Amino acid sequence: MAKFKMKVYQLWLLFVLFLPLTNVLCFSELSFITEPSDVTVLPKDPAVLDCQAHGQPPVTIKWLKNGVRLAESEHIQFLPNGSLYLPKIKHTKEDSDEGIYQCLSQNKYGAILSQRSRLTIASIAEFVVHPVPMVVTEGSVARFSCSAASSPPATISWEFNQSTLPLQTDRITILPNGVLQIHNVQLEDAGQYRCVATNIGSRLKSREAALTVNQGVGPKPRQRPRIIAGPQNITVSLHQTVVLECVATGNPWPIISWSRADSKPIDVYNAKVLGNGNLVISDVNSKHSGVYLCRATTPGTRNYTIAAANLTVLVPPSIVERPESQTRPRAGTARFMCQAEGVPPPHISWLKNGEEVHLNGRIKMYNSKLVITQIIPEDDAIYQCIAESEQGSVLSVARLIVVMSEDRPSAPRNVHAETISSSAILLAWERPLYNADKVIAYSIHYMKAEGLNNEEYQVVIGNDTTSYIIDDLEPARNYSFYIVAYMPMGASRMSDQVIQHTLEDVPLRTPELSLTSHSSTDIQVSWQPLPAKVSRGRLSAYRLSYRTAADNTVISVEIPQNSTEYLLEGLQPDTIYLLRMAAATRVGWCEPSAWTSHRTPKTSSSKVPSAPILQLEPLNCTSIVARWQTSPESVPVQGYRLCYHEESQPEQPIIQLQAQTYTYTISGLDPRRKYHVKILAVSQAGDGYQTDQTISTPGCVSARDQPAATPPPPDHVTVLATNSSAVSLHWSRPAFTSGKTVSYTVRCTPVGTHNASAIRYLQTTKQSVMVQDLDSNTRYEFVVRLHVDQMSSPWSSVVYHRTLPAAPSRPPAGVRVTLIEDDTALVSWKEPTEANMVVTHYTILYASQKSWMAGHWQIIQREGSHTMALLEKLELGNVYLVKISASNQVGDGPFSNVVELALKRGNAHRSKNPRHSDSFHDTTVFSDGLYHIDQRSMTGIIVGVSIALACIVMCALILISKGRPRKSSGHKVITVATSEGPHGGLSLPNELHVENAEALIPMISAHFIDAKGGSNMIINGAGPLNSKNQSKRWLLFKREIRNQTESDVERRASLYEAGKTVLRYEEHLGSAPLPPSSREIIYGPLHSESSHTSEGSQETGDSGHYSNEESNEEMSNPSTSQSSRPESFGPDDGTTVAELKQSFQVENEESLCLHHSAPDATRLCCTSGGSHPIQPSSQAVSS
């Protein structure tokens, strides 16, 4: 009931707080129809800045320049529609019309301010860069550059010897940024060059620069590619044109190619290559931002050089969440939300009636949110959110309407707080002294007590309680609380504030480490103190653990809480060390960080550059800015090497940076991930000491200041094999609403790999990709993730696929040929050294030199499990050539290298024993000389193998002889009547005709019982069978060919011959199961209970007894029983075989009754008088 009442009160409160009144419904918001925009004009020309507003009249418009209100005059005129007219633009040092203009619109509800408009006067100030003289060799590259400070940007053209430079040849390229490139310079290119800058305002010429061309002498030596003018980091505004220059030399002339460091495709629609490798991107937007790589490659080789540059596209601010107009009672609270995006991130401020909001204890800004508490009538106004950056400004409007109310309740009394845990505080109070019966709800307000502009939070509860637990607080923080009581038409004053602290907790995480080495035997570990939100209390100590990558022995060191660095000394040079750290408060230790690797430098006599001082800073949720500097006394640096990787992921390719570069932007990262960044300086003496540092990217924030929803992963991922080294991957885009560009990352991993370099990543914008260069007959796992709006989805479900097998690509290894007889040689080899290769057979080719000259080879093939073969009938005095290839089901592999075997004439006996070396002349030539097998050793091997085979045969005969029954009547032979003529027993329903099948069955089995031991009749679960052959020999069982459409009764039916002793048995339900015997383990579950104790046999008389010795004797040879057991009698027969019970009753040529345990089994009774079936009966026939 209390919960129900609280919900009713909350609904009442929301109704009161958010119900627009009548004057609100008729409120016409004040807004702009047209706002002024940027304009560029010439001096003395007229200019018009448009501004039109809409709202409840009267509406007035005023103008501001650089924040100062303008007065109308002869030079400044206000048009009737509100626009500003300047008849003649002034541009002097004393007075200029250049500046920022805004119009202010006002009516009785308030005032609003327009966006900023920049008025610029066209001009060209001066050249910032003039062309400089150059001396080049004929056939090389010449490059001139110039730039001018102008507004609007000037167009650059070039003159040669004070005449317009002709551009008829492809050797000359003028880039949009004003750079002049002359490739394959000729002698006639020598002369004076200068650039001309032109815009709508003026035209300006630069200084001249001479180009001197020296004639080339002799052929050019071969040179590796070298980039002489690489791309530079550039920042441009939206929709501009970008030039990424790349000029390289080398012999032969290198090939220029472009790619992105994040492996995303380059926009082919807006990008083009100008000249001999310059990348020009027109109409740029935010998706073009990133790191671009210029690669100069020597044709036909793997020699290349890479230069990188970061392109940053500035985007004007745009508001993604606009504030909404609100109606609030006096003493209430209003919150205006405003979120904007842009590059760089825009700054957000608030205006009240066109003027900046004055923040105080009652009006505060939390990030970009404006919160007004204890609202008073003066707060009724129009509020504007302004998002502005160097790229422009944008505004959004909302109005606050204050509702007056009388007879308000007094404030809640005696507020006190009590700490419960590290994140919870209990708040309690007493009801207001006046008008407490009119209170419908309470509003609890709380915020952090320390710091400025802390965000205030609010919780609304019903009037049926005067206590509340707030459980979303940060540990080890002081919080302030106050309470407001609400009635239907207003709110009370705020209660007295109380301050209470939360308890400490273990730290959320450990500090991020920075690792450097100042010598080959030390590592300097440094870190930044944890912020209070992460430490969750006062730190008491740090624990640093380290070990080598090859040793699992961990060494730990505890460090005082006020330390921020520690030096590990006495380490091994050129060794990879793994380090991690944990932090503790008085409550306990946090989880240690993941291991971070660092390699100590090699011991070197020459001096190398010291480790750079690295600083990492997140630019946004997907980018990191790296800045570094080297010590002044360091060795001269020729460049830097930077690499980075996500934690627990393989490293990305190394990025080569020039010596003058001290900053780099790493983009295309995932939000909320930890990355390791490494950098070292390179000098002529070698690589310098390395710096390792860790940083975490922040989360991407959505419009409501919450982490944006993660997009779902791709679904319906399928893999189709194309060939043995490639597969085609397809997937479907998940169902989610987003109109932005979607890209995908595919991860391909060999199953069970521990090698990070074997993991491959592919990026694509399509919903399919071809994965190539895979290993044949190898099982891979594939996953796909989606990227949209700087966010990444989880990986899709794993799809496994094995590539198709391929023919062996390598020959057998270790081919050896050894002479073991005068005319016989032994060839041995090893399997090809290929993973997942199944060899089906080997092909051995051998021939004498004469036959080889004639092209005749002798061929021997061996199965894939064999790695030896004999070469027989060799002729003495010849030299034989041998080679081997491996084959599988796909095809044949290459042959091995030819191995020679020379057979000398004369006595070929040989011995490894030096004592017999004088008696036997060694005629064997060994292919590898690694081992020798003489004739005696080979004879011993053959004799041993023969003896072993003889023993195996004798053992088999003994087992067969012991497996035979001791009694002649023990041979149980199954006979199926022939299909000729009518049967003397029971006829089959469909006149089933089968061939005769015979098999010898062991005496005691799960399906056959002979109660007397002398009968020639066998009964199994399918019925009685006749004996046809009484000879004591093993017979082959011929499987019956049955029609699959026959019923179970037809399959189980057997023929009965009169005049035979039959065994009758009944099934007793409810018998307790027994543990499985050895025979059950071999044959499977047994349906017979013939192995029970003699307790059941005593009920049947003497005919029910059987020899336990015989049973054990037969059980001792399970393989014989199993091999002679007919398949049609096994558990796969498809019928439920009736189990033999402890009670056995024998009938002499009287009748036969079979009781099947299956519910649908047929009870069949046969008499000696004929083949007519007897009607089913529930009683057993007595003996």
Give per-residue pLDDT as tens, 1008-1027: 444 434 444 444 444 444 44
Residue 662, pLDDT above cutoff 70 = yes
Label the pairing between strands 255-260 and 339-343: unpaired
Is 523 in contact with 599 (CB distance < 8 Å)? no
What is the three-class DSSP state of 691? strand
Dist. CA 253–CA 637, nearest whole Å = 28
Token readout for 172 is 């000359």
Which residue is associated with the tokens 């049609």?
1128
Least confident of 613-622, 758-767, 895-904, 1125-1134: 1125-1134
pLDDT at 575 over 60: yes
Q: Which residues contact 671 (CB under 8 A, 6 or more apart)?
A: 621, 622, 697, 698, 699, 700, 790, 791, 792
Q: Which of 142-151, 512-521, 646-655, 1104-1113 has the largest mean confidence?
A: 142-151
Residue 338 CB neighbours (<10 A): 26
Question: If residue 1063 lies in a helix (H) or strand (E), which one and from where to where?
Answer: strand 1061-1065
CA distance 951 to 596: 64
pLDDT at residue number 709: 65
Average pLDDT, integer, range 281-298: 91
Measured in residues, the chain has a length of: 1183
The reported pLDDT for the residue numbered 914 is 32
At 694 the three-state DSSP class reads: strand
Mean pLDDT of all residues in 434-441: 85
Contacts of 858 (CB under 8 A, 6+ apart): 845, 846, 847, 851
pLDDT the model gives residue 126: 87
The CA–CA distances, whole Å, from 212 to 138, 192, 215, 247 equal 10, 9, 10, 19
Taking the C-alpha atoms of 676, 677, 683 and 686 in order, what is their torsion angle to the nearest 10 degrees? 10
The answer to whether the CB of 622 falls within 8 A of the CB of 289 is no
**What local confidence, expressed as pLDDT, does residue 737 receive?**
58
Map tokens 């030039």 to a residue: 243
pLDDT tens readout for residues 751-765? 866 555 676 778 888
Mean local confidence (pLDDT), 728-742? 78
Residue 3 pLDDT more than 70? no
Question: Where residue 31 falls among pLDDT bands split at 50, 70, 90?
Answer: confident
Q: What is the predicted pLDDT for the residue at 338?
A: 93
Q: DSSP readout, 391-459?
A: TEEEEEEEEEEEEP-SSPPPPPEEEEEEE-SSS-EEEEEE--SSSGGG--EEEEEEEESSSSSPPPEEE
Asked if residue 1062 has pLDDT above 90, the reply is: no
* Residue 689, strand partner residues: none
Which residue in this structure is represented by tokens 């985007």?
A: 315
Summarised one tens digit per residue, pLDDT across range 782-799 is 989 887 765 778 878 888
- State the pLDDT confidence band at 119, using cuts at 50, 70 and 90: very high
Residues 595 and 578: beta-carbon distance below 8 Å: yes
Question: Is the pLDDT at 531 greater than 80, yes or no?
Answer: yes
> Which pLDDT value is given to residue 790?
59
Average pLDDT, the chain: 75
For residue 1051, what pLDDT is reported? 40
**Complete DSSP assignment for 64-114:** EETTEE----SSSEE-TTS-EEESS--BSSS-B--EEEEEEEEETTEEEEP
Provide φ and ψ at 422, rounded to 5°: -75, -10
Average pLDDT of the segment spanning 733-745: 74
State residue 292's pLDDT score. Answer: 92
Residues 6+ apart with CB under 8 A from 80: none
Q: What percent of the chain has pLDDT over 70?
A: 73
Q: What is the pLDDT of residue 930?
A: 37
Query: Taking 90 as the threshold, does the pLDDT of residue 101 lie above it?
Result: yes
pLDDT of residue 206: 92
Q: Which of 820, 792, 1076 is nearest to 934 (CA)?
A: 820
- What is the 3-state secondary structure of 503-571? CCCCCCCCCCEEEECCCCCCEEEEECCCCHHHHCCCCCEEEEEEEECCCCCCEEEEEECCCCEEEECCC
CA-based R_g, the chain, Å: 48
Closest CA to 487 of 444, 435, 446, 431: 435
Q: Which range scores top for mean pLDDT: 14-28, 831-845, 1054-1068?
A: 831-845
pLDDT of residue 135: 92
> Which of 180-184, 473-477, 1178-1182 shows the lowest mean pLDDT across its residues?
1178-1182
Confidence of residue 347 (pLDDT cuts 50, 70, 90): very high
The model's pLDDT over 532-542, given as tens digits with 9 standing for 90+, comes to 888 888 899 99
SS3 1173: coil
Residue 898 three-state SS: coil
The per-residue pLDDT for 205 is: 92
Instruction: Report the greatest alpha carbon distance in the chain.
Output: 142
User: Above 50 in pLDDT, residue 622?
Assistant: yes
Query: Alpha carbon of 158 to those of 147, 203, 1054: distances in Å?
Result: 12, 13, 110
Q: Are residues 154 and 198 in contact, defined by beta-carbon separation less than 8 angstroms?
A: yes
Spatial distance between the Cα atoms of 1012 and 24, rounded to a whole number of angstroms: 109
Q: What is the pLDDT of residue 111?
A: 92
